[in-house]
Amino acid sequence: MLTDRTIVHCRACGTKVNYVVPADDNRPRAVCPNCATIHYENPLNVVGTVPVWQDQVLLCRRAIEPRHGLWTLPAGFMELGETTAEGALRETDEEAGAHVELEGLFTVLNVVRVGQVHLFYRARMTDTHLNPGSETLEARLFREDEIPWDELAFRTVRETLIRYFADRKSGRFSIHCADIA
């Protein structure tokens, strides 16, 4: 369980908060002793795609920390004002400059220890033109036997790729939900 307290000062008045269980609640929250504002800390959503061209999957080599230089699926934090699908499309464009059409939600992965939920959509690339953004050193297509398994940046990417290739072999795609310890 995530135990690091991320809120130190009240966003409303700047007073240092205390972690207490508010009335009618069941867990400690950041509560301002000055203005009584309760600050809720909720998981962040990471959204992305599994972009596919024929029998190849698109991966991006990270140009940023964490995990600089390692490979990932195009993904990032969801923004306010967008749906998970819109965020996945935006991240795919920002990180790889790839043109894709979404084919449905594929994985929902809970990463409780860092307070995140990762959602990946299957996506069909409409062409092979790539224009990686500043967060990507390189974007390229890989066949299953070419995937740099030992150089993947995140366990959620590994889990998503394993499930993708297994579903592709079976000829039937479904939604996969899992907890990443």
98 and 60 within one domain: yes
Pick from 85, 169, 142: nearest CA to 152? 142
CATH code of the domain covering residue 23: 2.20.70.10
8 A C-beta contact, residue 103 and residue 120: no
53 and 34 within one domain: no
Residue with tokens 């990417």: 157
Beta strands in 64-125 (DSSP E): 71-72, 75-77, 100-111, 116-125
pLDDT on residue 34: 97
60 and 149 within one domain: yes
Burial 15-33 (b: 16+ CB within 10 A, else e): eebeeeeeeeeeeebbbbe
Mean pLDDT by 10 residues, the chain (181 residues): 73 96 94 96 96 98 98 98 98 98 98 96 98 98 98 98 98 98 89
pLDDT on residue 1: 44
- The encoded tokens of residue 118 equal 């990762």
pLDDT on residue 3: 52
Range of the domain at 111: 44-179
164 and 116 within one domain: yes
35 and 109 within one domain: no
Q: How many domains does the chain have?
A: 2
